[in-house]
Every structure is written in structure tokens, then in C-alpha cells.
Amino acid sequence: MESYKKTKLDSGLRLITIPVENANSVTVLILVGTGSKYETKDINGMSHFLEHMFFKGTEKRPDTLTISETLDRIGGQYNAFTSKEVTGFWAKVDKKHTDVALDWISDMFLNSKFDKDELEREKGVVIEELNMYLDTPTSHVSELFEDLLYGDQPAGWRIVGEKQTILDYTREKLLNYYHSHYSNENTVVCVAGDVNSKEIEEKVRNYFSKIEIRESPEKLKTLESQKSPGILLHYKKTDQTHFCLGVRAYDMYDPRRYALKIISVVLGGNMSSRLFISVRERNGLAYYVNTSYDGTTDAGYLVTQAGIKNDSLEKAVSLVLKEYKDLSENGITEKELQKAKDYLRGATSLSLDSTDSKASFYAMQEVMGEKVLTPEEKIEMIDKVSLSDIKNVAEDIFKNEKLNLSVIGPFDEKDKESLEKILKI
């Protein structure tokens, strides 16, 4: 059985089908190439707000209750999400209800009413979502890190927006964004499960026949400029200090991203990683500590995040910097390289067990403009990474002028001075 099939329909809509023999579920996923990086300051958060409004009613399903009951009655799972560059909607159902999922998701996507009264009510919901993020340091500190990296440009703004901007939304602004950012050109429909690709193609052609034909929107290119280590402290009385310490790196198309993924695993990708052993096991400073690579179409970074004792910030930061420096100067061992490759191979395999994860894996590559690779092809790229590749990347990224540190905890400007003294590789 083929791993996937990509079809471009007459409307320009792209369809990916992923046959999964004997799967009990079918996932229908729609990805649109738009997000907060496509916004202007006055409508920051509109991509996310619009995602909410799709669930408020169509002519066929006039309200939220009717929309949600459609899949609740058959035990389906469904949700939506917004990132900086992608907005997605998905439904996962028993395979015998594939038509229900296709009808439901296409109806919302193409026929939502975007009622004015619903819009006013939803402002309160989204503002409470914003408050939830602000009260969740593990999420908030990551936003502060990107604010530090990118500043006052779309890449540095919150996906959910700011309170006053949300309050100023109008139906006209919402409709303008919808009609200018949702089109045949930047939309990918993906169906994964025990399906026949040809039959699905015909169904999708019918269900999405009303999709609007227009050019895809463009976004401003992310600008990066830094000459010395950056620090952003957010004072909050907390029982635990949370920080993100990382470096500017490469975008999602850069071939060096595979070496970056291995570096992130070696540093903090699992419970036997360098930083997990150093920060948590040997020094007892944190419950969680992890390192990850985040790449978008025009920027990227590697970051270590941890929640630590309030009186241990400098020590924890020093431990992370020590590992960054060691990687830059000495690279990693052959044993670490092989272990990281084996870890990524196993993690990739486990992550693709379900139809929804398979749909996301293939459709996300397509909507982001990447060459679509199978899991096996991605693992091949990782297997090609050498010790010298790791060393070259480490030497390039672990530099003082690329360092950035965001912190949430009981700290103020006087603490910034002492952090500045140690923030160097």
C-alpha cells in the first residue's frame, strides 16, 4: 500500500490521502498557510480568533451546540489550532463515519456565518484564554523568549493577541481577514485512514467545490539583529522560576536542521540527556528541563527550558551554558550520536501510530512548502549527520551574540546585572 498520494484538484486545492490498512479511524485535517505572522498590529490575534469563530454556526448547523453534537453523537474527536504560520482544523472518527466528518468540516470551513453577536461573546472567551496563558509560566516564558528574539514584528507578537486588540475586533475586520487569507492556493486537505484514495478524491472535490479561488497572502520576512546576549526578566511572585535559554539558529528548510535536532536530543531531549542528568539528577534544581529546536519558514532557534528553585537561577543557567560551551568546543561522542539517531528513529515511529499524527506529518510539510518526505526519508537524512556536522553547527550557533535568556520569577532589574555577567559561552 502506498504511503501517501498528493493530488491537486481543478480548483487548485491540494489533497493528500494516506491509506492506512486496517485502521479503525479516519482523520480529516485541513491546514491553511496563515497565522499570526500574516497579521498587522491592529488585528494581531485575528488568525486565532477566526479559528474560534468557525465553530459558531453555519446555515446547516446554526449554532455551536449543533456543530459539536454532530461529532459528539458518533464519539468523534475534533479541534482546531493556530500557530505563527499555520491554522488547522481536524476531525477523527470511526471509519464508517468518514462522510460525516467530511461534511462537518467542509461545512464549517466554507459556510460559517461569523455572526456578530457570537463574535462579541467570543471576545470574552479568548481574553480568558489569554489570561490562562499569562497565568501558565511554562507557556508564557516561551512567548517572552520569542518576544526577546524578534521584538515588535509579527514573529514576536502573541498568537492569541492582546486584550485591547481583541476588544477592538469587528465583524468587518474578521471577514476581511477571512476573505484575504483563506484560499484554494494556501489550503491543504488531508485524509488518513483505511480509505480508497480515488474515492476520497471524488468526495473532497464535491465537499469543497465552493472554496474561494484567489492568490495566497504574503507575510513580512522576519528580521533578526543581535550583537550581544539578550535578557528579558518578567517579575512574578512564583514558587518556581521558569526560564528559556537558547540561541538563534536556522529556518526549517536549512539542511543543518537535522544536526540541530540531534544536538537538541543530546542536550535535553530525553531523561538520559546531558542537561536532564546535570540539572535535575546531579544537582536537584529542576523537575522539568528540556531542549528543543523550533524552525519556521524564515527563522529558527534552539532553546533549553526549565522550572527551577527560585534561588538557583544563576547556577542552572551556568550549567546550561557549560554544556553549550562543551558542545561548541568538543562536539559529541560517536556513542551519543548513535544514541540520538536511534532515539529519533524510535520516537518518529511511535509518534506516527495514529491516523491524526500521520495526517499532520504529511500535510504540515506540504502546507509549509517543504518537499514532502516519508518518515523513512527523514530518518535517512538524520542518519547522514556526522560528528563533524554536529561540531560545525555547534561552533556556529553557540556564540555570545546569539544567546538569549527569558525568565519568569521574583526577579527585577538588579538581578539582570548579575545575570549579564554570567551569560556568556
Domain at 132, CATH number:
3.30.830.10
Query: Which residues have a catalytic role annotated?
Result: 51
222 within a domain of the structure (yes/no): no
Q: What is the pLDDT of residue 3?
A: 87
Rounded CA-CA distance 222/154 in Å is 8
pLDDT digits (tens, 9 = 90+) for 140-154: 999 999 999 999 999
Which residue, 144, 173, 207, sits at the end of a domain?
A: 207
Which residue, 172, 207, 242, sits at the end of a domain?
A: 207
Backbone angles phi, psi at 105, to 5 degrees: -75, -35
Q: What is the pLDDT of residue 35?
A: 98
Which residue, 169, 192, 207, sits at the end of a domain?
A: 207
* Cβ proximity of 235 and 410 under 8 Å: yes
Q: What is the pLDDT of residue 86?
A: 98
Backbone angles phi, psi at 265, to 5 degrees: -70, -45
Kindly tell me if the per-residue pLDDT of 396 is higher than 90. yes
* Cβ proximity of 232 and 147 under 8 Å: yes
Q: What is the dihedral of CA 112, 113, 115, 121, to 10 degrees?
A: -10
Q: Are residues 295 and 362 in the same domain?
A: yes
Q: Domain range for residue 388?
A: 230-422
User: What would the grid cell of residue 424 be?
Assistant: 556568556
Rounded CA-CA distance 302/78 in Å is 31
pLDDT digits (tens, 9 = 90+) for 118-132: 999 999 999 999 999
64 within a domain of the structure (yes/no): yes
22 within a domain of the structure (yes/no): yes
220 within a domain of the structure (yes/no): no
The three-state secondary structure class of 220 is: coil
221 within a domain of the structure (yes/no): no
Q: Are residues 140 and 12 in the same domain?
A: yes
Q: What is the pLDDT of residue 348?
A: 96
pLDDT digits (tens, 9 = 90+) for 13-33: 999 999 999 999 999 999 999
Rounded CA-CA distance 303/424 in Å is 15
216 within a domain of the structure (yes/no): no
When divided into structural domains, the chain yields a total of 2
Q: Are residues 292 and 418 in the same domain?
A: yes
225 within a domain of the structure (yes/no): no
Rounded CA-CA distance 63/403 in Å is 49
Kindly tell me if the per-residue pLDDT of 110 is higher than 90. yes
pLDDT band for 309, please (50, 70, 90 cuts). very high
Q: Are residues 198 and 239 in the same domain?
A: no
Q: What is the pLDDT of residue 145?
A: 98
Q: Are residues 373 and 297 in the same domain?
A: yes
Q: Are residues 80 and 13 in the same domain?
A: yes
Strand order in the sheet with 300-308: 230-235, 403-409, 241-248, 300-308, 286-295
Rounded CA-CA distance 124/135 in Å is 16
Rounded CA-CA distance 303/321 in Å is 11
Q: What is the pLDDT of residue 63?
A: 97
360 within a domain of the structure (yes/no): yes
Burial of 214 (0-12, 13-18, 19+ CB in 10 A): middle
Q: Are residues 189 and 279 in the same domain?
A: no
Q: What is the pLDDT of residue 1?
A: 54
User: What would the grid cell of residue 215 be?
Assistant: 492568490
pLDDT digits (tens, 9 = 90+) for 281-304: 999 999 999 999 999 999 999 999
User: What would the grid cell of residue 146 be?
Assistant: 520569542
| Helices and strands per DSSP (H, E), number in the chain | 16, 11
Q: Are residues 261 and 388 in the same domain?
A: yes
Q: Are residues 12 and 52 in the same domain?
A: yes
Q: Are residues 161 and 278 in the same domain?
A: no
Q: Are residues 142 and 277 in the same domain?
A: no
* Cβ proximity of 38 and 199 under 8 Å: no
Q: Are residues 24 and 103 in the same domain?
A: yes
